[in-house]
Protein backbone atom coordinates (compact mmCIF):
# COMPACT_ATOMS: atom_id res chain seq x y z
CA UNK A 1 0.00 0.00 0.00
CA UNK A 2 1.06 3.59 -0.65
CA UNK A 3 2.42 5.40 2.37
CA UNK A 4 0.92 8.81 3.13
CA UNK A 5 3.24 11.71 3.75
CA UNK A 6 3.02 13.30 7.19
CA UNK A 7 0.82 16.36 7.16
CA UNK A 8 3.73 18.50 8.40
CA UNK A 9 5.51 17.87 5.07
CA UNK A 10 2.52 19.16 3.15
CA UNK A 11 2.45 22.53 4.91
CA UNK A 12 4.78 25.43 4.12
CA UNK A 13 7.56 26.12 6.62
CA UNK A 14 6.29 29.65 7.31
CA UNK A 15 2.94 28.22 8.39
CA UNK A 16 4.51 25.67 10.72
CA UNK A 17 6.63 28.33 12.43
CA UNK A 18 3.82 30.87 12.81
CA UNK A 19 2.01 31.07 16.13
CA UNK A 20 -1.79 31.20 16.44
CA UNK A 21 -2.98 34.75 15.86
CA UNK A 22 -6.30 36.27 16.85
CA UNK A 23 -6.65 38.26 13.63
CA UNK A 24 -10.14 39.23 14.49
CA UNK A 25 -12.86 41.79 14.99
CA UNK A 26 -13.66 42.92 18.54
CA UNK A 27 -16.23 45.60 19.37
CA UNK A 28 -17.54 47.23 22.55
CA UNK A 29 -20.50 49.64 22.62
CA UNK A 30 -22.07 51.45 25.57
CA UNK A 31 -25.79 51.88 26.14
CA UNK A 32 -27.90 53.61 28.78
CA UNK A 33 -26.83 56.30 31.22
CA UNK A 34 -25.20 56.44 34.64
CA UNK A 35 -25.76 53.54 37.03
CA UNK A 36 -28.31 52.03 34.64
CA UNK A 37 -25.81 51.97 31.79
CA UNK A 38 -24.13 48.91 30.38
CA UNK A 39 -21.79 47.76 27.67
CA UNK A 40 -22.09 45.10 24.97
CA UNK A 41 -18.91 43.38 23.80
CA UNK A 42 -18.73 41.17 20.73
CA UNK A 43 -16.16 39.22 18.74
CA UNK A 44 -15.90 36.63 16.02
CA UNK A 45 -14.50 33.18 16.83
CA UNK A 46 -11.84 32.50 14.19
CA UNK A 47 -8.17 31.99 15.14
CA UNK A 48 -5.59 31.44 12.41
CA UNK A 49 -1.95 30.47 12.00
CA UNK A 50 -0.82 32.24 8.88
CA UNK A 51 -3.36 31.24 6.26
CA UNK A 52 -4.52 28.18 8.20
CA UNK A 53 -7.64 28.40 10.39
CA UNK A 54 -6.54 26.69 13.59
CA UNK A 55 -9.73 27.24 15.59
CA UNK A 56 -13.21 28.16 14.40
CA UNK A 57 -14.71 28.46 17.89
CA UNK A 58 -12.12 30.49 19.80
CA UNK A 59 -13.17 32.49 22.85
CA UNK A 60 -11.73 35.99 22.46
CA UNK A 61 -13.76 37.56 25.29
CA UNK A 62 -12.06 36.80 28.62
CA UNK A 63 -13.51 37.92 31.95
CA UNK A 64 -10.93 39.06 34.50
CA UNK A 65 -13.60 40.26 36.94
CA UNK A 66 -16.79 38.29 37.39
CA UNK A 67 -19.03 38.63 40.43
CA UNK A 68 -20.49 35.14 40.04
CA UNK A 69 -17.12 33.41 39.61
CA UNK A 70 -15.39 35.48 42.32
CA UNK A 71 -18.05 34.91 44.99
CA UNK A 72 -15.73 32.43 46.74
CA UNK A 73 -13.11 35.12 47.46
CA UNK A 74 -12.85 35.83 51.18
CA UNK A 75 -10.17 38.31 52.35
CA UNK A 76 -7.70 36.93 54.88
CA UNK A 77 -7.38 40.03 57.00
CA UNK A 78 -7.71 43.80 56.92
CA UNK A 79 -4.90 45.72 55.29
CA UNK A 80 -3.18 48.82 56.66
CA UNK A 81 -5.01 51.12 54.25
CA UNK A 82 -8.40 49.78 55.31
CA UNK A 83 -11.07 52.50 55.31
CA UNK A 84 -14.76 52.73 56.00
CA UNK A 85 -15.40 52.90 52.26
CA UNK A 86 -13.58 49.60 51.77
CA UNK A 87 -15.65 48.08 54.55
CA UNK A 88 -18.85 49.27 52.91
CA UNK A 89 -17.76 47.82 49.57
CA UNK A 90 -16.84 44.51 51.18
CA UNK A 91 -20.12 44.21 53.07
CA UNK A 92 -22.23 45.11 50.05
CA UNK A 93 -22.87 42.96 47.01
CA UNK A 94 -21.39 45.62 44.69
CA UNK A 95 -18.71 44.29 42.39
CA UNK A 96 -17.26 45.14 39.02
CA UNK A 97 -17.56 42.97 35.95
CA UNK A 98 -14.74 43.37 33.44
CA UNK A 99 -14.15 41.69 30.08
CA UNK A 100 -10.92 41.80 28.07
CA UNK A 101 -11.53 41.61 24.32
CA UNK A 102 -8.39 40.14 22.76
CA UNK A 103 -6.82 40.63 19.33
CA UNK A 104 -3.24 39.99 18.26
CA UNK A 105 -1.23 36.94 19.25
CA UNK A 106 -3.50 34.40 20.91
CA UNK A 107 -0.71 33.23 23.23
CA UNK A 108 0.29 36.76 24.29
CA UNK A 109 -3.24 37.97 24.94
CA UNK A 110 -4.20 34.84 26.87
CA UNK A 111 -1.15 35.23 29.09
CA UNK A 112 -1.95 38.90 29.70
CA UNK A 113 -5.56 38.18 30.66
CA UNK A 114 -4.54 35.34 33.00
CA UNK A 115 -1.91 37.51 34.69
CA UNK A 116 -4.36 40.37 35.24
CA UNK A 117 -7.03 38.08 36.68
CA UNK A 118 -4.50 36.52 39.07
CA UNK A 119 -3.28 39.94 40.19
CA UNK A 120 -6.80 41.24 40.81
CA UNK A 121 -7.75 38.14 42.81
CA UNK A 122 -4.57 38.43 44.87
CA UNK A 123 -5.35 42.07 45.64
CA UNK A 124 -8.87 41.12 46.71
CA UNK A 125 -7.65 38.32 48.96
CA UNK A 126 -4.74 40.14 50.57
CA UNK A 127 -6.10 43.69 50.84
CA UNK A 128 -9.86 43.15 50.63
CA UNK A 129 -10.06 45.58 47.72
CA UNK A 130 -12.29 44.32 44.88
CA UNK A 131 -10.91 44.99 41.44
CA UNK A 132 -12.34 47.56 39.04
CA UNK A 133 -12.38 48.04 35.29
CA UNK A 134 -9.95 50.94 35.64
CA UNK A 135 -7.53 48.86 37.73
CA UNK A 136 -7.62 46.03 35.17
CA UNK A 137 -6.90 48.52 32.39
CA UNK A 138 -3.89 49.95 34.22
CA UNK A 139 -2.46 46.50 34.81
CA UNK A 140 -2.86 45.58 31.15
CA UNK A 141 -1.35 48.88 30.06
CA UNK A 142 1.74 48.39 32.23
CA UNK A 143 2.23 44.81 31.01
CA UNK A 144 1.93 45.73 27.33
CA UNK A 145 4.17 48.77 27.73
CA UNK A 146 6.89 46.84 29.59
CA UNK A 147 7.28 44.24 26.83
CA UNK A 148 7.50 45.75 23.30
CA UNK A 149 7.65 42.26 21.77
CA UNK A 150 4.06 41.49 22.75
CA UNK A 151 1.50 41.42 19.95
CA UNK A 152 -1.67 42.59 21.64
CA UNK A 153 -4.42 45.04 20.80
CA UNK A 154 -7.05 44.99 23.54
CA UNK A 155 -10.36 46.40 24.68
CA UNK A 156 -11.10 46.44 28.40
CA UNK A 157 -14.81 46.99 29.05
CA UNK A 158 -17.36 46.39 31.76
CA UNK A 159 -19.27 47.91 34.68
CA UNK A 160 -17.19 49.69 37.33
CA UNK A 161 -18.82 49.58 40.78
CA UNK A 162 -16.63 52.44 42.05
CA UNK A 163 -17.40 54.84 39.21
CA UNK A 164 -20.98 53.47 39.14
CA UNK A 165 -21.20 53.31 35.36
CA UNK A 166 -20.04 51.30 32.39
CA UNK A 167 -16.54 51.93 31.03
CA UNK A 168 -14.71 51.16 27.78
CA UNK A 169 -10.93 51.40 27.40
CA UNK A 170 -8.88 50.65 24.29
CA UNK A 171 -5.24 49.58 24.66
CA UNK A 172 -2.99 49.89 21.61
CA UNK A 173 -0.02 47.55 20.91
CA UNK A 174 2.38 50.21 22.25
CA UNK A 175 0.61 50.36 25.61
CA UNK A 176 -1.47 53.52 25.15
CA UNK A 177 -4.75 53.29 27.06
CA UNK A 178 -7.66 55.60 26.22
CA UNK A 179 -11.16 55.71 27.63
CA UNK A 180 -13.78 55.72 24.89
CA UNK A 181 -17.03 57.59 25.32
CA UNK A 182 -19.32 55.39 23.24
CA UNK A 183 -17.52 52.55 21.48
CA UNK A 184 -14.19 50.87 20.76
CA UNK A 185 -13.17 48.56 17.92
CA UNK A 186 -9.94 46.68 17.29
CA UNK A 187 -8.60 43.91 15.11
CA UNK A 188 -8.08 43.24 11.45
CA UNK A 189 -11.76 43.78 10.64
CA UNK A 190 -12.03 47.16 12.34
CA UNK A 191 -11.17 49.18 9.25
CA UNK A 192 -14.25 47.92 7.42
CA UNK A 193 -16.82 49.02 9.99
CA UNK A 194 -15.78 52.43 11.37
CA UNK A 195 -18.19 54.28 9.10
CA UNK A 196 -21.09 52.01 9.97
CA UNK A 197 -20.33 52.37 13.69
CA UNK A 198 -20.28 56.17 13.49
CA UNK A 199 -23.50 56.30 11.50
CA UNK A 200 -25.27 53.85 13.79
CA UNK A 201 -24.27 55.58 17.01
CA UNK A 202 -25.33 58.98 15.65
CA UNK A 203 -28.71 57.51 14.68
CA UNK A 204 -28.54 58.16 10.94
CA UNK A 205 -31.34 56.85 8.73
CA UNK A 206 -30.90 53.38 7.28
CA UNK A 207 -28.52 52.17 9.96
CA UNK A 208 -29.65 49.59 12.53
CA UNK A 209 -33.29 50.26 11.74
CA UNK A 210 -33.31 53.65 13.41
CA UNK A 211 -31.76 52.54 16.68
CA UNK A 212 -30.55 55.54 18.64
CA UNK A 213 -33.36 57.91 17.62
CA UNK A 214 -35.76 59.65 19.94
CA UNK A 215 -39.50 59.34 19.40
CA UNK A 216 -39.55 62.66 17.56
CA UNK A 217 -36.91 61.39 15.10
CA UNK A 218 -34.10 63.65 16.29
CA UNK A 219 -30.58 62.34 16.72
CA UNK A 220 -29.65 60.99 20.11
CA UNK A 221 -26.64 59.37 21.70
CA UNK A 222 -26.19 55.84 23.04
CA UNK A 223 -27.98 56.80 26.26
CA UNK A 224 -31.26 56.19 24.41
CA UNK A 225 -30.40 52.60 23.52
CA UNK A 226 -31.77 49.55 25.27
CA UNK A 227 -29.79 46.39 25.94
CA UNK A 228 -31.47 44.45 23.14
CA UNK A 229 -30.84 47.23 20.63
CA UNK A 230 -27.17 47.40 21.58
CA UNK A 231 -26.79 43.62 21.28
CA UNK A 232 -28.33 43.54 17.81
CA UNK A 233 -26.23 46.50 16.69
CA UNK A 234 -22.94 44.90 17.81
CA UNK A 235 -23.93 41.58 16.20
CA UNK A 236 -24.63 43.38 12.92
CA UNK A 237 -21.32 45.26 13.10
CA UNK A 238 -19.31 42.06 13.62
CA UNK A 239 -21.23 40.39 10.81
CA UNK A 240 -20.36 43.19 8.39
CA UNK A 241 -16.68 42.89 9.30
CA UNK A 242 -16.74 39.14 8.72
CA UNK A 243 -18.17 39.67 5.24
CA UNK A 244 -15.10 41.71 4.19
CA UNK A 245 -12.26 40.55 6.43
CA UNK A 246 -10.72 37.21 5.51
CA UNK A 247 -9.20 36.80 8.97
CA UNK A 248 -12.55 37.06 10.78
CA UNK A 249 -15.10 34.28 10.77
CA UNK A 250 -16.98 31.63 12.72
CA UNK A 251 -19.94 32.96 14.67
CA UNK A 252 -20.43 36.03 16.83
CA UNK A 253 -20.09 35.69 20.61
CA UNK A 254 -21.50 38.58 22.64
CA UNK A 255 -21.84 39.57 26.29
CA UNK A 256 -24.03 42.28 27.80
CA UNK A 257 -22.53 43.67 31.02
CA UNK A 258 -24.27 45.89 33.58
CA UNK A 259 -24.38 46.36 37.35
CA UNK A 260 -26.19 43.02 37.75
CA UNK A 261 -23.49 41.00 35.97
CA UNK A 262 -23.29 39.56 32.48
CA UNK A 263 -25.48 37.83 29.91
CA UNK A 264 -24.19 35.77 26.99
CA UNK A 265 -25.54 35.81 23.44
CA UNK A 266 -24.52 34.12 20.21
CA UNK A 267 -25.34 34.98 16.62
CA UNK A 268 -24.72 32.93 13.50
CA UNK A 269 -22.84 34.85 10.80
CA UNK A 270 -23.36 34.26 7.09
CA UNK A 271 -20.61 35.07 4.60
Catalytic residue set? 24
Give the integer Cα–Cα distance in Å for 212 and 215: 10
Instruction: Report residue 214 CA to chain centroid gap.
Output: 28
Give the integer Cα–Cα distance in Å for 172 and 60: 16
In 3-state terms, what secondary structure has residue 216?
Answer: coil
The vertex-263 CA angle with 241 and 180, nearest 5°, equals: 55
Q: Residue 15, exposed/middle/buried by CB under 10 A (0-12, 13-18, 19+)?
A: middle
What residues are paired with 229 via a beta bridge? none
Q: Where are the beta strands (DSSP E) in 81-215?
A: 97-105, 152-160, 165-171, 177-179, 183-187
Q: Are 141 and 152 in contact (CB under 8 A)?
A: no
Give the integer Cα–Cα distance in Å for 25 and 48: 13
Q: Are 41 and 103 in contact (CB under 8 A)?
A: no
Amino acid sequence: PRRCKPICLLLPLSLLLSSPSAATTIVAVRYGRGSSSGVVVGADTRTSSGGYVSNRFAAKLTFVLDGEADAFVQPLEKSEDWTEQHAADASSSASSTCCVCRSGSAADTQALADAVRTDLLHRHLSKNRPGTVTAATRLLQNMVRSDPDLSASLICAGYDHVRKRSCIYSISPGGTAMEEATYAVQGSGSGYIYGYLEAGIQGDDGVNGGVGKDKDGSKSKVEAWTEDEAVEFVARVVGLAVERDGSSGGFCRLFSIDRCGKKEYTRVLHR
